[in-house]
Amino acid sequence: PAHRRRHRLRPGPAAGREEPALKGPADILIAAADLLEAEGRSLRQNTLRTAIAIGLAVVMVVLLLAAVGFLLAAVFLKSAALWGSAAGALVTALFTFLLAGVFLWLTIRTSR
């Protein structure tokens, strides 16, 4: 029949499938509630994942700072044993400046 023909510019449902139509305000409210529930679930999962990642990053930074501290202490102790405490402090300071320069260079290089 003529009233069942599809308009050639307006696509209709795929062959053999009827597209679900929202019948009224109740269907719209139910669809909106379903969408909000799905978005809330996704937000909760992503928030938990982000919190875990931030916690692990904080632990990593603390351990990295401790490792650098022990490295600098070892440099100081070894150089102080070889050349005295004043020279040991100088060598440790130069090593620290070198280490800071490397980190600055890496930061600039990766931020481009």
Gyration radius of the chain's alpha carbons = 33
The Cα–Cα gap between 67 and 59 comes to 12
pLDDT in tens, 22-52: 678 888 888 888 888 888 888 888 998 999 9
Give burial (CB, 10 Å; 0-12/13-18/19+) of 92.
buried
pTM recorded for the entire structure:
0.57
pLDDT of residue 33: 87
Low-confidence ranges of the chain (pLDDT < 50): none
